[in-house]
Amino acid sequence: MNRNILSIIIAAVVLLIIVMMVIDYSGDRADKRGNNPYEYNVDRYKSVDTSLVHFRESKQIPLGEYKAGGLDLFGGNAWLAGEGFLLSLDEKGRVTLNQDINGEATCLEVTPGAVYIAFEDHIKKYSHGGILEATWDREDERTVFTSLAAGGETIYAADAGNRRVVMYDTAGSRLGTFEGKAENSAIGHGFVVPSASFDLVINRYDELWVVNPGLHAVENYNKDGDMRGYWQKSSMNVEGFSGCCNPAEIDVMADGSFVTSEKGLVRIKIYDQSGKLLSVVAPPGKFNEEGKAPEVKVDDMDRIWALDFDRSMIRIFEHTQ
């Protein structure tokens, strides 16, 4: 073949390749692509029917420099613990206690007799005046305490690192552990805890409820750690929970209904004891996008206090009647 003809053919092939690359690049630009039917998009779930929202935000208490790790309510005050501090505030945001503590607190439980503060792998007991009374033994290196609840003379601690609940008496002696396994249950393969979102609560009937966040379930246990029942809601819709680990936070109302808080698609809701959605307290538009789940606590008037970690404030929600 004539060398000139071969050169022309090679040049034509190279030109054709360049043209095809340009066309392919242009078609792949973000503004030229068609809709992706498999795209993960939560935008349509952010909107909540206003008829489901039965609460209004009535107050905000900015926390300023205090970066709290946990919230509890006792004696009409909000109690907070964080990195190096134990703080108590009245409803107007006035400080009633400000005590230095050693370490970074992850959660706390205030009882009539003491203030129990959890750190990553151990618990400390304080007086209501902020005086350290006891430091309990450390757990193993995998331990990550994320929630405390007091039932009678037992302190329950949710350990996200080991996917278990640890039980202590009020003096700090370890009573045992359980991992959420039940032989005769469809959900009986134990706690599924993909992240440090693992909450538990004692309701006003002295019942222990533990979130199984990876299964979007709320489970009831007796004092020995045996499962008594559960309810489960997995859905992207407002009626359920989605993501790796929701609900991330819970508390209980006077009638036994549950207040839940979710991360990612942040929202606060109320469910009855069987898991039926009763109300939305605060829709996603009230919070930072892709934010952290607020910790939620219910006071004696069934108002919901939410510790908004992203905005460093306490937000109070009241029923609109």
Taking only the tens place, the pLDDT of each residue in 199-208 is: 999 999 999 9
Which pLDDT does position 2 carry in this prediction?
52
Tell me the pLDDT band of 22, cut-offs 50, 70 and 90. very low
Check whether 5 has a pLDDT greater than 70.
Answer: no
Banded pLDDT at 46 (limits 50, 70, 90): confident
Tracing tokens 């302190």 back to the chain, one arrives at: 155
Round to whole Å and give the CA distance between 233 and 235: 6
128-184 pLDDT, tens digit per residue, is 999 999 999 999 999 999 999 999 999 999 999 999 999 999 999 999 999 998 766
Q: What residues does each domain of the chain span?
A: 52-319
Q: Using CB atoms within 10 A of its CB, is residue 53 exposed (0-12), middle (13-18) or buried (19+)?
A: middle
Residue 28 has a pLDDT of 39
Residue 224, pLDDT score: 86
| E strand intervals along 114-214 | 115-118, 123-126, 132-135, 145-151, 154-159, 164-169, 174-178, 200-202, 208-212
The one-letter amino acid at 232: Q
Rounded mean pLDDT of the chain? 88
39-53, 162-176, 293-307: range with lowest mean pLDDT: 39-53
Instruction: For the sheet with 68-74, list strands across it.
Output: 68-74, 77-89, 95-104
Residue 9 clears pLDDT 90, i.e. is over it: no
Q: Half-sphere exposure (CA, 13 Å, Cβ side) for 20?
A: 6
pTM of the predicted protein model: 0.85
Stretch 25-41: mean pLDDT, rounded?
A: 42
Q: What is the pLDDT of residue 189?
A: 74
197 near 266, Cβ under 8 Å?
no
Q: Which residue has the higher pLDDT, 17 or 218?
A: 218
Q: How confident is the model at residue 24 (pLDDT cuts 50, 70, 90)?
A: very low
| Interatomic CA distance for residues 78 and 59, integer angstroms | 13
How far, in Å, CA of 103 to CA of 119, rounded? 7
Q: Tell me yes or no: is domain 52-319 CATH 1.10.150.300.
A: no
Distance between CA atoms of residues 106 and 123, nearest Å: 10
**Whole-angstrom distance, CA of residue 32 vs CA of residue 245:** 36
pLDDT tens, position by position, 92-131: 999 999 999 999 999 999 999 999 999 999 999 999 999 9
Q: Stretch 11-15: mean pLDDT, rounded? A: 51
Q: Give the pLDDT score at 47.
A: 74
Average the pLDDT over 314-320 and give the result.
96
